């Protein structure tokens, strides 16, 4: 029985789906104005782990990942580099999927650029403005559309906002994103009108482009519909972004958007937040050039519980990599087992592998507990092997169970 922590209810709940055996899963992808770093990959990895474990349990997963390829930051970056928006974002997308291969992250069924869902975004804007939940307003030479949170009953329910503190006077926020984590207590932009020099599309609501606050809603509803079983992302998405997406979708459909909301904690480096100004941003290939494999990076990033902040230090990373290598050697040595008079203990231990693995993973994806169980069991099996008490058949059973577990972990074989 899988139990997951639901940000919406702030409770660990039994996982259930609306359509038996099938899971629709929406995960926030990167803003492709820059190359993803290991902090981004920590989020993508816990989402990958969740997908793989659901498949291990027998579910059929339909997963979508959004790619933010048109936003204020991307347009500014492209101009700074003197390249087109397409050249900038395509380059970073290529690196993203190269890193997915290295880290054994499954490419979702849908990896959708925001620029391909402009028509659906315009349709959402049309519905919201017709219903009076959003409105048009001129700003800086454009006529933009803004979503009015006070018109959506239950706004802020995901982040558990105290709406009594919401500003009473009219305030508008015109940018796609704002630095830091404070809430913008006012109306948020969902559509940028067009002016000379802008990146724009011709649509049913005029010439312009969807704001970041609308893009995920447009992408998801176009490809998965107005309801998903799971919505997931990093903890930073819990401020503004996911509540905006929820409000937009539910304002149109009148129904619940996602049953489970999951959010992964940040990764920091040597006790500090990663930033270009500090020079401490780490990319996967910086670690592989030092002799580490993708499995070492993956293992380090999934080892600690996804809802707990992870501190990357060189010392800790090397220690975790050594521990994985040691474990892999013990697993490999099980193939040498060939006792003529095997102990019954070998068979019992082989049977424990799947049970212990599931017990831990069913507890909100407790990889740490699962791996610790695997380590203890494999060490005991290795002790039997060295004492000629482990039979080939029992070793083979243990290896088969480990291979099934590794379809989720993807770090052993």
CATH number at residue 35: 3.40.50.620
Residue 104 lies in a domain: yes
137 & 230 share domain: yes
pLDDT confidence of residue 359: 98
253 & 132 share domain: yes
Alpha-helical (H) ranges within 113-201 are 118-130
88 & 189 share domain: yes
Residue 279 lies in a domain: no
| 161-164 contact pairs (CB < 8 A, 24+) | 161/243
pLDDT confidence of residue 288: 98
243 & 325 share domain: no
Residue 283 lies in a domain: no
Of 243, 250, 247, whose CA–CA distance to 227 is shortest? 250
pLDDT confidence of residue 131: 98
3-state helix, strand, coil in the chain (%, to 5): 45, 20, 35
pLDDT confidence of residue 405: 98
183 & 143 share domain: yes
Q: What length does the chain have?
A: 413
pLDDT confidence of residue 95: 98
Task: Mention every residue, 6+ apart, whose C-beta is less than 8 A from residue 32.
Answer: 67, 68, 69, 74, 88, 89, 92, 93, 96
Of 226, 274, 270, whose CA–CA distance to 251 is shortest? 226
42 & 182 share domain: yes
Q: Are 266 and 236 in contact (CB under 8 A)?
A: yes
322 & 254 share domain: no
Residue matched to tokens 């899971």: 23
Residue 271 lies in a domain: no
185 & 293 share domain: no
Per-residue pLDDT of the chain (413 residues; tens, 9 = 90+): 999 999 999 999 999 999 999 999 999 999 999 999 999 999 999 999 999 999 999 999 999 999 999 999 999 999 999 999 999 999 999 999 999 999 999 999 999 999 999 999 999 999 999 999 999 999 999 999 999 999 999 999 999 999 998 988 999 999 999 988 889 999 999 999 998 889 999 999 999 999 999 999 999 999 999 999 999 999 999 999 999 999 999 999 999 999 999 999 999 999 999 988 889 999 999 999 999 999 999 999 999 999 999 999 999 999 999 999 999 999 999 999 999 999 999 999 999 999 999 999 999 999 999 999 999 999 999 999 999 999 999 999 999 999 999 999 999 99
pLDDT confidence of residue 173: 97
Out of 209, 231, 264, pick the residue that ends a domain.
Answer: 264
- Compute the distance between CA of residue 33 and CA of residue 10 in angstroms, rounded to an integer: 33
pLDDT confidence of residue 317: 98
Residue 277 lies in a domain: no
43 & 119 share domain: yes
* Start-to-end Cα distance in the chain: 27
Q: Are 104 and 298 in contact (CB under 8 A)?
A: yes
For residue 213 the two structure tokens come to: 């606050």
**What domain range is 322 assigned to?**
289-409
For residue 360 the two structure tokens come to: 């831990």
Residue 276 lies in a domain: no
251 & 400 share domain: no
60 & 147 share domain: yes
Residue 198 lies in a domain: yes
pLDDT confidence of residue 276: 82
pLDDT confidence of residue 125: 98
Displacement of CA 83 from its chain's centroid (Å): 29
User: Total structural domains in the chain?
Assistant: 2
Instruction: Write the DSSP symbol of residue 238.
Output: G
78 & 170 share domain: yes
Helix (H) or strand (E) holding 300: helix 294-303
Helix (H) or strand (E) holding 311: strand 310-312
Residue 7 lies in a domain: yes
Q: Are 18 and 229 in contact (CB under 8 A)?
A: yes
pLDDT confidence of residue 275: 87
**Collapsed DSSP state (helix, strand, coil) of residue 4:** strand
Instruction: Write the DSSP symbol of residue 107.
Output: P
């Amino acid at each position: 029985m899988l139990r997951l922590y639901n940000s919406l209810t702030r409770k660990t709940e039994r996982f259930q789906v609306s359509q038996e055996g099938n899971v629709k899963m929406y995960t926030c992808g990167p803003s492709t104005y820059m190359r993803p770093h290991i902090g981004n990959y920590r989020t993508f990895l816990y989402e990958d782990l969740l997908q793989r474990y659901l498949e291990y349990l027998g579910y059929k997963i339909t997963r979508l990942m959004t790619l933010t390829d048109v936003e204020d930051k991307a347009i500014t970056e492209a101009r700074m580099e003197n390249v087109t928006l397409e050249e900038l974002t395509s380059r970073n997308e290529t690196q993203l999927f190269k890193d997915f291969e290295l880290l054994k992250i499954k490419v979702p069924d849908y990896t959708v650029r925001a620029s391909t869902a402009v028509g659906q975004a315009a349709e959402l804007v049309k519905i919201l403005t017709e219903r009076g939940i959003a409105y048009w307003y001129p700003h800086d030479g454009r006529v933009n559309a803004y979503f009015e949170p006070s018109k959506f009953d239950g706004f802020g329910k995901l982040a558990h906002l105290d709406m009594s503190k919401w500003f009473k006077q009219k305030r508008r926020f015109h940018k796609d994103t704002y630095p830091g984590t404070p809430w913008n207590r006012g109306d948020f932009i969902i559509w940028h009108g067009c002016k000379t020099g802008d990146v724009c599309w011709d649509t049913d609501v005029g010439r312009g482009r969807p704001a970041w606050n609308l893009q995920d809603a447009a992408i998801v509803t176009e490809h998965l519909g107005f309801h998903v079983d799971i919505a997931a992302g990093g903890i930073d998405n819990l401020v503004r972004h996911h509540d905006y997406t929820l409000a937009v979708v539910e304002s149109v459909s009148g129904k619940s958007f996602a049953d489970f909301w999951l959010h992964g904690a940040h990764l920091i480096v040597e006790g500090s937040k990663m930033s270009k100004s500090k020079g401490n941003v780490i990319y996967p290939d910086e670690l592989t050039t030092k002799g580490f494999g993708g499995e070492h990076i993956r293992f380090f990033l999934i080892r600690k519980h996804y809802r707990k902040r992870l501190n990357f230090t060189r010392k800790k990373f090397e220690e975790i990599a050594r521990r994985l290598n040691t474990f892999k050697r013990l697993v490999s040595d099980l193939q040498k087992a060939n006792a003529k008079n095997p102990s019954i203990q070998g068979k019992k231990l082989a049977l424990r592998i799947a049970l212990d693995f599931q017990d831990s993973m069913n507890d909100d994806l407790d990889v740490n507990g699962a791996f610790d169980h695997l380590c203890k069991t494999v060490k005991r099996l290795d002790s039997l092997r060295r004492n000629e008490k482990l039979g080939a058949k029992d070793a083979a059973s243990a290896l088969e169970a480990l291979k099934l577990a590794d379809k989720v972990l993807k770090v052993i074989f």
